[in-house]
Protein backbone atom coordinates (compact mmCIF):
# COMPACT_ATOMS: atom_id res chain seq x y z
CA UNK A 1 0.00 0.00 0.00
CA UNK A 2 2.88 2.36 0.76
CA UNK A 3 4.28 1.83 -2.74
CA UNK A 4 0.96 2.81 -4.28
CA UNK A 5 0.99 6.11 -2.29
CA UNK A 6 4.50 6.92 -3.46
CA UNK A 7 3.58 6.16 -7.07
CA UNK A 8 0.51 8.36 -6.85
CA UNK A 9 2.46 11.32 -5.42
CA UNK A 10 5.18 10.83 -8.04
CA UNK A 11 2.52 10.96 -10.78
CA UNK A 12 1.17 14.20 -9.28
CA UNK A 13 4.66 15.75 -9.29
CA UNK A 14 5.23 14.70 -12.91
CA UNK A 15 1.82 16.04 -13.94
CA UNK A 16 2.49 19.36 -12.14
CA UNK A 17 5.94 19.62 -13.74
CA UNK A 18 4.43 18.86 -17.16
CA UNK A 19 1.79 21.57 -16.72
CA UNK A 20 4.46 24.08 -15.68
CA UNK A 21 6.71 23.08 -18.60
CA UNK A 22 3.92 23.28 -21.16
CA UNK A 23 3.12 26.80 -19.91
CA UNK A 24 6.73 27.79 -20.46
CA UNK A 25 6.67 26.16 -23.88
CA UNK A 26 3.51 28.02 -24.85
CA UNK A 27 5.10 31.30 -23.75
CA UNK A 28 8.22 30.50 -25.76
CA UNK A 29 6.18 29.62 -28.86
CA UNK A 30 4.32 32.93 -28.60
CA UNK A 31 7.56 34.91 -28.40
CA UNK A 32 9.46 33.08 -31.14
CA UNK A 33 8.93 34.63 -34.57
CA UNK A 34 9.09 31.72 -37.00
CA UNK A 35 9.03 33.99 -40.07
CA UNK A 36 12.39 35.54 -39.29
CA UNK A 37 13.55 32.74 -36.99
CA UNK A 38 14.32 35.31 -34.32
CA UNK A 39 13.49 35.68 -30.68
CA UNK A 40 11.06 38.51 -29.96
CA UNK A 41 11.75 39.84 -26.49
CA UNK A 42 8.50 41.76 -26.53
CA UNK A 43 9.61 44.51 -28.88
CA UNK A 44 7.52 43.70 -31.93
CA UNK A 45 8.58 46.94 -33.63
CA UNK A 46 11.99 45.29 -34.25
CA UNK A 47 10.28 42.86 -36.62
CA UNK A 48 8.43 45.60 -38.46
CA UNK A 49 9.03 45.57 -42.19
CA UNK A 50 9.20 49.38 -42.39
CA UNK A 51 12.62 49.33 -40.68
CA UNK A 52 15.11 47.43 -42.77
CA UNK A 53 18.60 46.40 -41.72
CA UNK A 54 21.60 47.96 -43.41
CA UNK A 55 25.05 46.40 -43.20
CA UNK A 56 28.05 48.68 -42.93
CA UNK A 57 31.82 48.52 -43.03
CA UNK A 58 33.20 51.50 -41.07
CA UNK A 59 36.80 52.10 -42.17
CA UNK A 60 39.66 54.25 -40.92
CA UNK A 61 43.29 53.66 -41.91
CA UNK A 62 43.75 49.87 -41.47
CA UNK A 63 40.81 49.48 -39.08
CA UNK A 64 37.54 47.97 -40.29
CA UNK A 65 34.38 47.57 -38.20
CA UNK A 66 31.50 45.48 -39.51
CA UNK A 67 28.13 46.43 -38.04
CA UNK A 68 24.46 46.53 -38.86
CA UNK A 69 21.82 49.12 -38.09
CA UNK A 70 18.35 50.18 -39.19
CA UNK A 71 17.73 52.61 -42.03
CA UNK A 72 16.10 54.84 -39.40
CA UNK A 73 19.30 54.96 -37.28
CA UNK A 74 20.79 58.45 -37.20
CA UNK A 75 24.41 59.19 -38.04
CA UNK A 76 24.87 60.28 -34.42
CA UNK A 77 23.60 56.88 -33.20
CA UNK A 78 26.09 55.20 -35.53
CA UNK A 79 28.83 57.31 -33.94
CA UNK A 80 27.69 55.99 -30.55
CA UNK A 81 28.19 52.44 -31.86
CA UNK A 82 31.73 53.40 -32.93
CA UNK A 83 32.29 55.00 -29.51
CA UNK A 84 31.42 51.71 -27.83
CA UNK A 85 34.09 49.92 -29.86
CA UNK A 86 36.91 52.45 -30.30
CA UNK A 87 36.32 54.56 -27.16
CA UNK A 88 36.22 57.90 -29.01
CA UNK A 89 33.37 60.34 -28.30
CA UNK A 90 30.89 61.08 -31.12
CA UNK A 91 32.03 64.72 -31.08
CA UNK A 92 35.53 63.52 -31.98
CA UNK A 93 34.34 61.54 -35.02
CA UNK A 94 33.40 62.37 -38.57
CA UNK A 95 31.65 59.83 -40.77
CA UNK A 96 31.76 59.96 -44.56
CA UNK A 97 30.04 58.36 -47.51
CA UNK A 98 32.04 58.66 -50.74
CA UNK A 99 34.11 61.55 -49.29
CA UNK A 100 30.92 63.45 -48.32
CA UNK A 101 30.58 64.36 -44.63
CA UNK A 102 27.44 62.85 -43.05
CA UNK A 103 25.25 65.08 -40.86
CA UNK A 104 24.55 63.81 -37.32
CA UNK A 105 20.80 64.44 -37.54
CA UNK A 106 20.22 62.52 -40.79
CA UNK A 107 19.18 58.88 -40.85
CA UNK A 108 21.20 56.25 -42.65
CA UNK A 109 18.32 55.92 -45.12
CA UNK A 110 18.48 59.68 -45.80
CA UNK A 111 22.21 59.28 -46.51
CA UNK A 112 21.53 56.59 -49.12
CA UNK A 113 22.18 53.48 -47.03
CA UNK A 114 19.30 51.10 -47.78
CA UNK A 115 18.77 47.37 -47.63
CA UNK A 116 19.49 47.37 -51.38
CA UNK A 117 22.78 49.31 -51.20
CA UNK A 118 24.11 47.91 -47.90
CA UNK A 119 23.54 44.14 -47.96
CA UNK A 120 25.16 41.51 -45.71
CA UNK A 121 27.18 40.05 -48.60
CA UNK A 122 28.15 43.53 -49.85
CA UNK A 123 28.19 46.02 -46.95
CA UNK A 124 28.39 49.74 -47.68
CA UNK A 125 31.58 51.57 -46.74
CA UNK A 126 31.51 54.43 -44.24
CA UNK A 127 34.70 56.43 -43.80
CA UNK A 128 35.79 57.50 -40.30
CA UNK A 129 38.09 60.33 -39.25
CA UNK A 130 39.03 61.44 -35.73
CA UNK A 131 39.61 64.88 -34.22
CA UNK A 132 43.34 65.59 -33.87
CA UNK A 133 43.04 68.81 -31.86
CA UNK A 134 40.39 71.29 -30.69
CA UNK A 135 39.65 72.69 -34.14
CA UNK A 136 40.85 70.12 -36.68
CA UNK A 137 40.09 66.60 -37.85
CA UNK A 138 42.49 64.25 -39.56
CA UNK A 139 41.97 63.83 -43.30
CA UNK A 140 39.92 60.80 -44.29
CA UNK A 141 42.30 57.93 -45.03
CA UNK A 142 41.33 54.34 -45.76
CA UNK A 143 44.07 51.83 -46.52
CA UNK A 144 43.20 49.42 -49.33
CA UNK A 145 42.81 45.77 -48.42
CA UNK A 146 45.82 43.61 -49.17
CA UNK A 147 45.72 41.38 -52.23
CA UNK A 148 45.78 37.63 -51.79
CA UNK A 149 48.91 35.79 -52.96
CA UNK A 150 48.95 34.27 -56.43
CA UNK A 151 47.48 30.77 -56.66
CA UNK A 152 49.93 27.89 -57.06
CA UNK A 153 49.88 26.32 -60.54
CA UNK A 154 48.11 23.17 -59.32
CA UNK A 155 45.19 25.28 -58.06
CA UNK A 156 44.81 27.41 -61.18
CA UNK A 157 41.90 26.58 -63.48
CA UNK A 158 42.85 24.44 -66.46
CA UNK A 159 42.86 25.80 -70.01
CA UNK A 160 39.33 25.95 -71.43
CA UNK A 161 40.48 23.86 -74.43
CA UNK A 162 40.19 20.08 -74.50
CA UNK A 163 41.13 18.25 -71.32
CA UNK A 164 43.14 15.03 -71.03
CA UNK A 165 39.91 13.02 -70.59
CA UNK A 166 38.41 14.49 -73.75
CA UNK A 167 41.59 13.68 -75.70
CA UNK A 168 41.53 10.06 -74.49
CA UNK A 169 37.92 9.62 -75.67
CA UNK A 170 38.67 10.91 -79.23
pLDDT digits (tens, 9 = 90+) for 125-165: 999 999 999 999 999 999 999 998 998 989 988 876 555 55
Q: Is residue 164 part of a domain?
A: no
- Indicate the average pLDDT of the chain: 80
Same domain assignment for residues 53 and 133 = yes
- What pLDDT does residue 156 have? 87
Q: Does residue 94 sit within a domain? A: yes
Domain that holds residue 126: 49-137
Domain assignment of residue 103, yes or no? yes
Compute CA 61 distance to the chain's CA centroid, rounded to the nearest angstrom: 22
Q: In which band, very low, low, confident or very high, does the pLDDT at 44 lie, cut at 50, 70 and 90?
A: very low
Q: Is residue 150 part of a domain?
A: no
Same domain, 57 and 23: no
Indicate if 11 and 72 belong to the same structural domain.
no
pTM given for the model: 0.60
Q: Which residues contact 80 (CB under 8 A, 6 or more apart)?
A: 90
Residue partners of 113: CB distance under 8 A and separation at least 6: 54, 56, 71, 97, 124
How many distinct structural domains can be found in the chain? 2
User: Which of residues 25 and 135 earns the better pLDDT score?
Assistant: 135
- Cα–Cα distances (Å) from 67 to 3, 53, 113, 116, 119, in that order, read 62, 10, 13, 16, 11
97 lies in some domain:
yes
pLDDT cut 90: percent of the chain above it: 57
Return the CATH number at 68. Answer: 3.10.20.90
Amino acid sequence: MADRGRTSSAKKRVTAAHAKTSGILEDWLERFDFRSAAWDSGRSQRNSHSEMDVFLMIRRHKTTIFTDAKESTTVYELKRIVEGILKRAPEDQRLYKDDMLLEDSKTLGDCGFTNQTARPQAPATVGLAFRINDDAFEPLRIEPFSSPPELPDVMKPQDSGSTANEQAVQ
